């Protein structure tokens, strides 16, 4: 019965529209109705049923963070919409693909789909789609840091949508205007947009959009350093993410809490949240996923090319039949084949050249990073090791100056020049040390798993010559088994080198220095103990301060610029560790570094 069919197809469309409003806590219902619409559409011969079902399946898979499957269904929905010549559903499929690519950090691909959707929306004259597409495209421009273009699109979306705000949801425009002001550090201008949306979505009980509002406010108050407000909003985002069962939202909530903890200088909490974020984010999108997604996209493009070629071939065949010329038909196919081959070869060669260029750029970037790392290492070695020879020159120069009456006037002038040059050299090294100190915060962490026992043995070996010159005995108390730690090997090495150098420097001749490494539950301790001059109790609070000049002095005339322990403390904090000191004047000092595995 025609009437019965019309009612049922309308009911399927109504079910589809209702599913689009479902939040993530109802994703299982979306999957159920997608299958239901597919099955009923076949019975009713409803040709749009496949488009609707594929889109709902894609939405469900995206909510489950199964991005490969989501793209597969969105592409299938796009193909079906184009076969039906349905601009409305084609716009929906393009927008779905653009949003997903944006979520998996591929803004250029997202931009391509949004631009296609924008052109179709403008052509169709649908206010809702125009506003929605301009909003989404503005988000991509923000990701690409093209803020002026984003503002033009958002202003236009607001101009078009504002007169229809009772029928067109413009909260997305408000959200994006708030985000744009936020990215431009105009926090007070962003706040009214975020608060307006929070009020609206709280009234509507729209949990998914409410999560976005809370995250925006948490981020904004973090930047304004209003940490109590930021914490309240950030913790609510985590509650909502878990209620929705959304891994991507939970990952973003962890990232927000990590940022807040970092701003509050609570580095342990920041590390824990970052670790949770990394585990979730890596599970959601990894390299294999991107590869599979690229293959899906390429298969869809190939399908479109095949359809276009098929259409072209049919047109050619019709023309050949009209001409009734077998010769012309053969020539035409030959030309088409030649052009196709030329185009294929040209494109393949261009892709190879592009791939080779990209590979060369990557290699050059890696080489530059390696050279920069070697440069910084060289500065570190030179700035510390050159202190000793300059100090030695000064000591011998001062000694000779005491006997200067035995020298001729020319020799005295020469000696004065030597001491002057030595002082100048020491000043240069001090400035290099100062630059190095500032550079610690810019050091890019290179986390790796390495054996701390082997590293400590190497450091001790490097200082044996320095210790032998003062007849100091070095003792290594290291575990017999391998002891691995996940950290920055270069920075851990610098910690050991600085502490051991100081221990030798402040220990008298003929004494002892001990270096020990121990495993302590979920952490590792590095201890350096000496029989040196020790540190006065009242000077202990200032021990790790920059340029702290304590009364304790090196025992053999070595130079001390007050930066060594300050640098060590900065490095230890950089890798989320702790450092402490116990000391007694005349008996020596014990420095302890605790690093988490």
- The CATH number of residue 134's host domain is 1.25.40.10
Band (pLDDT 50/70/90 cuts) for residue 1 is very low
Domain end position, chosen among 360, 383, 406: 383
Ramachandran sector of residue 576 (left: φ over 0; alpha: ψ -120 to 50; beta: rest): left
48, 113: one domain: no
Token digits of residue 321: 């039949």
C-alpha atoms less than 13 angstroms from C-alpha of 429 in its C-beta half-sphere: 25
Query: How many whole angstroms from its chain centre is CA 6?
Result: 52
One domain, residues 118 and 153:
yes
pLDDT band at residue 357 using 50, 70 and 90 as cut-offs? low
- The pair phi, psi for residue 234, each rounded to 5°, is -65, -40
Closest by alpha carbon to 244, among 528, 25, 94, 86?
25
- The CA-atom distances, in angstroms, between 119 and each of 91, 112, 165 are 9, 11, 22
Instruction: Name which of 207-216, 291-300, 392-401, 538-547 the model is least confident about.
Output: 291-300
Element (H, E) at 54: helix 49-63
Percent of the chain with pLDDT over 90: 22
In a domain, 140, yes or no: yes
More confident residue, 366 or 80: 80
For residue 227, is it within any domain? no
Same domain, 468 and 588: yes
φ, ψ (nearest 5 deg) of residue 506 = -100, 10
Can you give the three-state secondary structure of 201-254, one letter per residue? HHHHCCHHHHHHHHHHHHHHHHHCCCHHHHHHHHHHHHHHHHHHCCHHHHHHHH
Q: What's residue 517's pLDDT?
A: 94
* Residue at 203 is within a domain: no
**CB distance 128 to 168 below 8 Å:** yes
Q: Do residues 542 and 554 share a domain?
A: yes
Label residue 116 by pLDDT band (50, 70, 90). confident
Q: In the predicted model, what is the mean pLDDT of the chain?
A: 78
Q: How far apart are CA 411 and CA 408, in angstroms?
A: 5
319 falls within a domain:
yes
Residues 48 and 92 in one domain: no
Asked whether residue 79 falls in the same domain as residue 90, the answer is: no
Write out the residue range of the structural domain in which residue 54 sits. 1-85
Q: Is residue 242 part of a domain?
A: no
Q: At what angle do helices 267-284 and 247-263 cross, to 10 degrees?
A: 160
Residue 188's pLDDT is 93
Last residue of one domain, picked from the residues 333, 352, 383:
383
454 and 563 share a domain? yes
Same domain? For 107 and 79 the reply is no
288 pLDDT tier (thresholds 50, 70, 90)? very low
Query: What CATH code is carried by the domain that includes residue 487?
Result: 3.30.565.10
Does residue 506 share a domain with residue 566? yes
Mark whether 490 and 573 lie in a shared domain. yes
- Whether residue 231 is contained in a domain is answered as no
Domain limit, last residue, from 85, 114, 143: 85
Residues contacting residue 179 through CB under 8 Å, at least 6 positions apart: 139, 142, 190, 216
Q: Specify the number of domains making up the chain.
A: 4
**Are residues 573 and 490 both part of a single domain?**
yes
pTM of this structure:
0.37
4-34 pLDDT, tens digit per residue, is: 344 478 888 888 888 888 877 788 889 999 9
- Cα separation, 86 vs 93, in Å, equals 11
Does 542 lie in the same domain as 511?
yes
Instruction: Look at residue 516 and tell me if it is in a domain.
Output: yes
Question: Quick check: 166 pLDDT over 90?
Answer: no
From residue 592, how far is each of 146, 487, 569 by CA, in Å?
49, 17, 11
Residue 507 lies inside a defined structural domain of this protein: yes
pLDDT in tens, 233-286: 999 999 998 888 888 888 889 999 989 998 988 888 888 888 888 777 665 544
């Amino acid at each position: 019965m025609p009437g019965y069919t019309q009612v049922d197809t309308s009911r399927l469309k109504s079910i589809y529209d209702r599913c689009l409003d479902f939040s993530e806590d109802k994703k299982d219902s979306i999957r159920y109705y997608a299958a239901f619409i597919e099955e009923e559409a076949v019975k009713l011969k409803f040709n749009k049923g496949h488009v609707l079902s594929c889109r709902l399946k894609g939405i469900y898979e995206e909510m489950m963070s199964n991005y490969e499957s989501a793209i597969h269904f969105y592409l299938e929905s796009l193909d079906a919409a184009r076969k039906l010549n349905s601009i409305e559903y084609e716009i929906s499929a393009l927008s779905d693909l653009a949003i997903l690519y944006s979520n998996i950090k591929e803004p250029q691909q997202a931009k391509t789909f949004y631009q296609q959707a924008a052109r179709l929306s403008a052509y169709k004259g649908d206010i809702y789609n125009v506003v929605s597409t301009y909003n989404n495209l503005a988000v991509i421009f923000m990701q690409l840091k093209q803020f002026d273009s984003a503002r033009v699109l958002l202003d236009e979306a607001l101009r078009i949508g504002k007169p229809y705000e009772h029928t067109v949801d413009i909260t997305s425009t408000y959200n994006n205007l708030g985000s744009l002001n936020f990215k431009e550090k105009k926090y007070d201008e962003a706040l009214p947009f975020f608060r307006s949306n929070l009020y609206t979505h709280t009234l509507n009980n729209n949990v998914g959009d409410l999560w976005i509002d809370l995250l925006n406010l948490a981020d904004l108050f973090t930047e304004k350093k209003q940490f109590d407000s930021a914490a309240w909003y950030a913790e609510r985002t985590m509650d909502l993410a878990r209620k929705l069962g959304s891994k991507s939202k939970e990952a973003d909530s962890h990232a927000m809490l990590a940022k807040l903890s970092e701003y509050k200088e609570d580095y342990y909490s920041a590390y824990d949240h970052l670790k949770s974020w990394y585990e979730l984010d890596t599970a959601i999108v990894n390299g294999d996923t991107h590869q599979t997604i690229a293959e899906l996209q390429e298969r869809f493009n190939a399908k479109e090319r095949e359809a276009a070629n098929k259409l072209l071939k049919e047109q050619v065949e019709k023309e050949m039949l009209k001409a009734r010329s077998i010769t012309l038909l053969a020539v035409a196919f030959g030309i088409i084949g030649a052009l196709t081959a030329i185009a294929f070869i040209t494109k393949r060669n261009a892709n190879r050249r592009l791939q080779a260029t990209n590979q060369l750029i990557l290699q050059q970037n890696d080489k530059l990073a390696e050279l920069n790392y070697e440069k910084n290492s060289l500065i570190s070695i030179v700035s510390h090791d050159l202190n000793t020879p300059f100090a030695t020159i000064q000591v011998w120069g001062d000694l000779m100056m005491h006997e200067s009456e035995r020298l001729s006037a020319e020799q005295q002038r020469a000696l004065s020049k030597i001491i002057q040059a030595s002082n100048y050299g020491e000043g240069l090294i001090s400035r290099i040390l100062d630059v190095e100190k500032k550079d610690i915060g810019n050091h890019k962490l290179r986390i790796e798993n390495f054996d701390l026992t082997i590293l400590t043995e190497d450091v001790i070996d490097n200082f044996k010559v320095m210790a032998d010159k003062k007849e100091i005995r070095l003792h290594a108390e290291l575990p017999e088994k391998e002891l691995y730690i996940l950290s920055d090997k270069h920075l851990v090495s610098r910690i050991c080198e600085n502490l051991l150098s100081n221990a030798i420097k402040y220990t008298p001749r003929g004494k002892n220095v001990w270096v020990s490494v121990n495993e302590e539950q979920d952490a590792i301790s590095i201890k350096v103990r000496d029989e040196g001059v020790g540190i006065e109790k009242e000077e202990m609070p200032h021990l790790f301060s920059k340029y702290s000049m304590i009364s304790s002095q090196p025992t053999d005339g070595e130079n001390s610029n007050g930066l060594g322990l300050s640098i060590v403390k900065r490095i230890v904090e950089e890798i989320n560790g702790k450092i402490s000191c116990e000391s007694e004047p005349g008996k020596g000092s014990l420095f302890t570094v605790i690093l988490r595995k």
